[in-house]
């Protein structure tokens, strides 16, 4: 007889095979002779390995390997999430978690340090301050723990308490605080502010349950500040909850029509999300920024607005994920995220990159090569797209399927810019700027916060890197292995010309200010500083004429329609 653990894991394997498909009864699945035979084969293989393999094995590890192997033969986006990881994933999209309301960093070989607390949150109320070093949780030493382990200790059910022990500069003994956990929001809008007197900027980092509510709240606030046009930044946004992306697109569309529709094996997966009357941004010009890491929900927003001729899409070709996953919980609370449908833009185009060969490495390699061609040689890239992947927007513009959303305006990387120079890239890749600003706060945090706390606007408008700080930064870069030599001398890895440093000084000072701003006012304060040197943002500001033309086109009678879309 198989052991109890073997029978338990085998039950989980059989559940995967016959119990996770919505709308299909298990008896329907095992009624087919071939399906039944394959399940018996799977059972036999599992029990033989469990009983006969030369070394003792972990049934759970074997099961998870088998699940992953099955998923590998499906598509690149069907995934298995173990029970330990699922909570963290859920928090990202639920938009909240039980915690103490503190942001911290845990650099390698250093003690975790509080960077900020949520205003009026449990940590701030208890007395935790930015700059405090986290050294203990409920009496246990956490000085050698990594970020994820510390997070696990600090999170918990709202209403429960945790004792946090910190070391504070200027205090010669540890301080302990009893903190009651509360619901802590996780915001999906990373930044929202006015680029100029009439141009709003809003960046969405992911699509969560709270994203639509956040979007409406921020756009309302921007309108109160004079917004007449919007830059919607979806770069680096990997997607998330489909319904949230649909609602965002709907806020910029009016009347009738389709936003996105899905087609799956099971009829219940066939859905059409339609435009509803009204919206918070139905008349204003909109530019949507995308890049190679804009995926899924981001592509729904960009693709729908492009197909309706509603917004100008700017940047670089998107990732190309046109598959819909649905989560199915297994007996141990782990989850299978299985692709159940494909989604299509209103024009009828599928933006999923082909994956028929089943090779994940080839899938991503093809994405990279196609992306390079699409960005650096867009005309050649478009010439190779077959007629079967060419579609028309509501008013007759040509758009493309088969691999991401192709922007209306492509902005390729400019290697002549100081921001893209080998020196700046190397300093960023080695986190030299982050480590330098962290050191400045370690030494002078009290003085810095006394001067700038609650003065965000003044800091953004007036703060600049002093000559003294610049000299200290150059010296610190030297300590981190960067050497600067005169023109004509030999250069190698870690050796750069002094003229390159001089040419990059303005950009590096902006990046240092952005890091300082981020530490003072949290992550959203990075963007108002960095965007002043972001070449995509700067070029976007010259494209409002094209965006206005699209508004006029969108508001004119459509030239064509589609049976499956519009």
Helix (H, G, I), strand (E, B) or coil at 522: coil
Distance CA 472, CA 63 (A): 55
Distance CA 444, CA 519 (A): 13
Is 307 annotated as catalytic?
Answer: yes
In the block, which residue shows the tokens 């010439």? 383
State the burial class of residue 443 (Cβ atoms within 10 Å of its Cβ: 0-12, 13-18, 19+): exposed
Q: Which of 307, 309, 408, 500 is an active site residue? A: 307
Q: Which fold has domain 96-185?
A: Pdz3 Domain (2.30.42)
State the burial class of residue 242 (Cβ atoms within 10 Å of its Cβ: 0-12, 13-18, 19+): buried
8 Å CB contact between 326 and 419: no
pLDDT at 522: 87
Q: Which residues belong to CATH 3.90.226.10 in the chain?
A: 189-412+545-554
225: number of Cβ within 10 Å: 11
Please choose, from the candidates 311, 296, 103, 101, the residue with its C-alpha nearest in 3D space to the C-alpha of residue 202: 311
Token output for 106: 């845990």
Residues in the chain: 566
DSSP-assigned letters across all residues of 415-462: TTSGGGSHHHHHHHHTTHHHHHHHHHHHHHHHHHHHHHTT-HHHHHHH
Phi, psi of 346 (to 5 degrees): -55, -35
Angle between the 467-479 and 432-452 helix axes, to the nearest 10 degrees? Answer: 150
Is 11 annotated as catalytic?
Answer: no
pLDDT at 25: 39
Angle between the 242-250 and 297-307 helix axes, to the nearest 10 degrees? Answer: 30
| Sites in the chain below the pLDDT cut of 70 | 1-33, 357-358, 371, 560-565
pTM, whole model, 2 decimals? Answer: 0.87
Q: Which residues belong to CATH 2.30.42.10 in the chain?
A: 96-185
**Run of H or E residues at 546:** helix 544-554
Is 61 annotated as catalytic?
Answer: no
Distances (CA, A) of 427 to 157, 183, 304, 478, 511: 41, 38, 39, 11, 11
Q: Which of 116, 188, 296, 504 is an active site residue? A: 296
Distances (CA, A) of 135 to 32, 174, 191: 60, 8, 31
Q: Which of 155, 242, 247, 321 is an active site residue? A: 321
Token output for 61: 């590890």
Distance CA 517, CA 459 (A): 8
Q: What 3 state SS string does 130-185 have?
A: CCCEEEEECCEECCCCCHHHHHHHHCCCCCCEEEEEEECCCCCCCEEEEEECEEEE
189-412+545-554 — its CATH code? Answer: 3.90.226.10
């Amino acid at each position: 007889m198989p052991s109890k653990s073997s029978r338990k894991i085998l039950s989980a394997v059989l559940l995967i095979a016959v119990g996770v498909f919505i709308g299909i009864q298990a008896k329907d699945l095992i009624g087919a002779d071939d399906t039944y035979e394959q399940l018996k084969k799977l059972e036999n293989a599992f029990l033989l390995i469990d009983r006969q393999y030369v070394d003792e094995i972990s049934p759970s590890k074997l099961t998870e390997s088998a699940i992953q192997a099955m998923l590998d033969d499906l598509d690149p986006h069907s995934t298995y999430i173990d029970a330990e990881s699922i909570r963290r994933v859920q928090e990202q999209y639920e938009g909240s978690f039980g915690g103490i309301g503190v942001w911290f960093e845990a650099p390698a070989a250093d003690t975790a340090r509080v960077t900020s607390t949520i205003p009026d949150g449990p940590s701030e109320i208890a007395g935790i301050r930015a700059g405090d070093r986290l050294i203990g949780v409920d009496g246990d030493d956490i000085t050698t723990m990594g970020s994820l382990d510390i997070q696990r200790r600090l999170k918990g059910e709202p209403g429960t308490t945790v004792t946090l022990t910190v070391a504070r500069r200027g205090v010669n003994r540890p301080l302990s605080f009893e903190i009651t956990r509360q619901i802590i929001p996780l915001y999906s809008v990373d930044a929202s502010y006015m680029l100029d007197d009439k141009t709003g900027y809003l960046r969405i980092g992911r699509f969560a349950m709270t994203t639509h509510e956040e979007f409406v709240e921020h756009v309302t606030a921007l309108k109160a500040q004079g917004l007449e046009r919007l830059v919607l930044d979806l770069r680096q946004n990997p997607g998330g909850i489909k319904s949230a992306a649909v609602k965002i697109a709907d806020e910029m569309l009016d009347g009738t029509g389709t936003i996105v529709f899905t087609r799956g094996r099971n009829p219940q997966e066939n859905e059409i999300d339609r435009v509803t009357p009204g919206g918070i941004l139905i008349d204003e010009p909109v530019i949507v920024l995308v890049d190679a890491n804009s995926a899924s929900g981001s592509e729904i927003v960009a693709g729908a607005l492009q197909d309706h001729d509603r917004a100008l899409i700017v940047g670089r070709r998107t990732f190309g994920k046109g598959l819909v996953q649905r989560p199915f919980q297994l007996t141990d609370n782990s989850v299978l995220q299985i692709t159940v449908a494909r989604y299509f833009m209103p024009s009828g185009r599928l933006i999923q990159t082909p994956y028929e060969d089943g090779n994940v490495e080839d899938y991503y390699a093809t994405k990279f090569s196609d992306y390079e061609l699409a960005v650096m040689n867009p005309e050649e890239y478009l010439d190779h797209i077959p007629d079967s992947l060419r579609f028309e927007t509501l008013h007759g513009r040509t758009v493309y399927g088969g691999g991401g959303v192709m922007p209306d305006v492509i902005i390729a990387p400019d290697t002549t810019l100081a921001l893209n120079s080998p020196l700046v890239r190397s300093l960023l890749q080695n986190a030299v700027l982050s480590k330098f600003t962290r050191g400045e706060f370690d030494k002078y945090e009290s003085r810095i916060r006394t001067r700038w706390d609650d003065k965000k606007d003044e800091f953004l408008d007036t703060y600049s890197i002093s000559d003294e700080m610049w000299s200290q930064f150059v010296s610190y870069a030297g300590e981190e292995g960067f050497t600067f030599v005169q023109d004509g001398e030999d250069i190698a890895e870690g050796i750069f010309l002094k003229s390159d440093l001089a040419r990059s000084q303005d950009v590096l000072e902006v990046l240092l200010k952005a890091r300082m701003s981020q530490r003072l006012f949290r992550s959203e304060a990075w963007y108002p500083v960095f965007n002043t040197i972001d070449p995509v943002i700067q070029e976007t500001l010259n494209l409002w004429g094209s965006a206005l033309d699209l508004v006029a086109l969108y508001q004119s009678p459509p030239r064509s329609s589609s049976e499956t879309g519009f």
